[in-house]
Amino acid sequence: MSEPVALGRKTYACRSDRRGVSSGWLSGRNRQVPSGIGFSGRVSRPYRKRRPLPALVLVALLGAASLYVWFSVFAEADDINQEIACHPPASAPPGMEYTSVGHDALDDVTPIPPSKVPVQVLNAGELRGEAGITTAELRQFGFTQVATPANDPAYKNRTANCEGQIRFGDNGAAAARTLSLIDTCLELVNDGRKDATVDLAIGTQFTDVMPRDEAVEVLDQLSAWAKRSTRGNSELASNSQPDIDEDLLEAARPKSC
């Protein structure tokens, strides 16, 4: 116990603290600040988490836009396939089946020169002699292996209400790809034939062989490539297929009629 200290008229008793301070809560080491109160005495604002709603909305909008693009592509493909389909459908001969493969079925197939395409024109329309006229027009674009035209047995005693059909088998896919350049609205039909020949069946809506300018350029490039290859060009010998610009091919046969 400390001795009393006289200060004026009053006497005060002093008590020593073990840690050398008179009040523990005034010590800087032991000072405690209540939660939410800074050293300046101002109350700090509690942390507020940002809501993820705007980001989620943006992601949802981007996803919806992507789905819309994909659905538009599929809808466009379905529309053109319905537009070019022949009505009534062609009747396949016994032992053969006609399968419409879609407007873009041959887009990944490299075309061959028109002089290498063995083709026969079949008349499935109303005008007599139309197959012969079309045969002559094909020759003007380099199709030299053209057989004698005939009436279409798949439309015996009836007509095809459409531009026409290109009928082919797996071995004639490249030939059919070349022939498809003359008209963007021809229906592609795989009939399962084993050889590389193709048939061009023209319907009531077919007028003339009038390919697009880009298609004519592709046919000219293919014909020029074939002529160079027959001269024993070493560069062509190493390349078994002609090199045609993809953008030009796409422009030659757009996805619309």
Please indicate, yes or no, if residue 64 is contained in any of the structural domains: no
Going by C-beta distance under 8 Å and a sequence separation of 6 or more, which residues neighbour residue 237? 229
Does the residue 218 lie in any domain? yes
Q: What is the pLDDT of residue 21?
A: 43
219, part of any domain: yes
Residue 30, both tokens: 């032991």
Per-residue pLDDT tens digits for 205-257: 999 999 999 999 999 999 999 998 877 654 545 557 788 999 999 999 998 87
Span 136-159, average pLDDT:
97
Whether 212 is in a domain gets the answer yes
Secondary structure class of 85 (helix, strand, coil): coil
Tell me which residue range forms the domain holding 136.
Answer: 99-252
pLDDT digits (tens, 9 = 90+) for 60-83: 677 666 664 444 444 455 689 999
- Does residue 36 lie within any of the structural domains? no
DSSP output for 201-257:
EE-TT-------HHHHHHHHHHHHHHHHHHTT-HHHHH-SS----HHHHHHHS-S--
- Asked, for residue 114, whether it belongs to a domain, the answer is yes
Residue 89 near residue 98 (C-beta atoms within 8 A): yes
Residue 120 in any domain: the answer is: yes
Q: Which residues are within 8 A (CB) of 103 and not within 5 positions of it... i.e. 6 or more apart? A: 77, 80, 81, 84, 187, 188, 255
What pLDDT shows up at residue 153? Answer: 97
Task: Say how many domains are in the chain.
Answer: 1
In the predicted model, what is the mean pLDDT of the chain? 81
Kind plus residue range of the DSSP H or E element containing 176: helix 173-179
Residues constituting the chain: 257
Confidence check: pLDDT of 18 > 50? no
More confident residue, 172 or 238: 172
pLDDT at 57 over 80: no
Residue 181 lies in a domain: yes
